[in-house]
Chain A
């Protein structure tokens, strides 16, 4: 086990994993708690935009798929809260911080889902971007976080594929359905690019996180990887990505693309997105409405013990 700073640095230097009872710097622990909690909150809040479509899904098949997907998001939240708990915080504390607005969740879930095509677009683009972010995190230096990410990545693949298949089905439908897909992609493209965070020049903590092996790639690297993966998928689907500057750059072996509107990201992160208030109000209500269930489970357990 790691007992001091030298031991910690040695583990990091050989790309090995830090485990809960090892010595770790305060900053490492704090960074992890913040990042894992934010990630867990994102999974939990992330149930809302799609959850709204469960009762209006167009077939039993689509409804069953969507239910399973939203249940997975709840599960991902629980894996991540468990990983955070190994760092000496409790899930109850983290939930409290979310409800008090003191910890954040991914900006993407503050956008509305007015169209059923959004269910497909979220699977394809939003879960696709999440996978880009999460696959390198399977190798993150903190063992419990990496193990949670491995489990999550296995399940995200289903999420992305069901979304893409949904959109393919709509693209084979009527002109109106194809227009719905394009309209949804138009709304979600730029917010999906913003999921990777601010540009590297404005991400002061990235270097520290990478030195600690918490992050394995910079925001801009991951954003580029996502664009390169997604353009051929858009072509196969028959939709246009809403960026006039998007073009292949043979010299770089990558796609050039336009600059997202970073002032929009700032606004959404600081609470002024289209749905921030609605998402938080819904979360608080759900949590308070569930209080009697949690209390009843404890009463039942106590009665059983006699």
Chain B
């Protein structure tokens, strides 16, 4: 068997998301190479939850993840910077007004 075949059996890359406990979001933990989704869940759990880090795992093919591009910086993220009135601290309320 040629060496390249031995080394790379063609396992795709999966992104692994772990829920730390009930009530929390699944959070990206890392990635794992695996033969298929079921295999990725098994391997992902073995690698990322060896110390009770999670109660549930999601996996998704890394190639299926769409991500924002560097050149979209302006259009996607700058509007929030000039709308400071979206933050509660923008409004000054007298200290003696309760529960605000």
Q: Which residues of A come within 8 Å of B, CB atoms?
A: 1-3, 21-23, 68, 71-72, 75, 78-79, 82, 85, 90-92, 95-96, 99, 147-148, 151, 154-155, 287-288, 291, 294-295, 297-298, 300-301, 304-305
Is A78 within 8 A of B47, CB to CB?
yes
A-B CB proximity, top 7 nearest:
A301-B36, A92-B8, A294-B9, A297-B35, A1-B70, A301-B35, A82-B31
Name the interface size band of chain B: 20 to 34
Q: Is residue B93 contacting chain A, with contact meaning CB distance below 8 A? A: no
**Of B5, B11, B51, which is within 8 A of A297 by CB?**
B11
| Distance, CA A199 to CA B83, complexed state (A) | 53
B70 with A298: CB separation less than 8 A? no
Q: Is B47 a contact of A90 with CB atoms below 8 Å?
A: no
Q: Are A300 and B35 in touch, CB under 8 angstroms?
A: yes
Instruction: Please judge, given known A-B contacts A72-B50, A298-B35, whether A288 and B9 are in contact too, CB under 8 Å.
Output: no
Q: Are B7 and A96 in contact (CB under 8 A)?
A: yes
Closest approach, in angstroms, between the C-beta of B67 and any C-beta of chain A? 7
A151 vs B48: C-alpha distance when bound (angstroms): 9
Q: Does B6 contact A (CB under 8 A)?
A: yes
Closest to B30 in A: A82
B33/A91 in contact, CB under 8 A: yes
User: How many angstroms between the C-alpha atoms of A40 and B3 in the bound complex?
Assistant: 21
In-complex Cβ contact of A3 among B7, B9, B11, B70 (8 A): B70
Complex alpha-carbon distance, A79 and B33, angstroms: 11
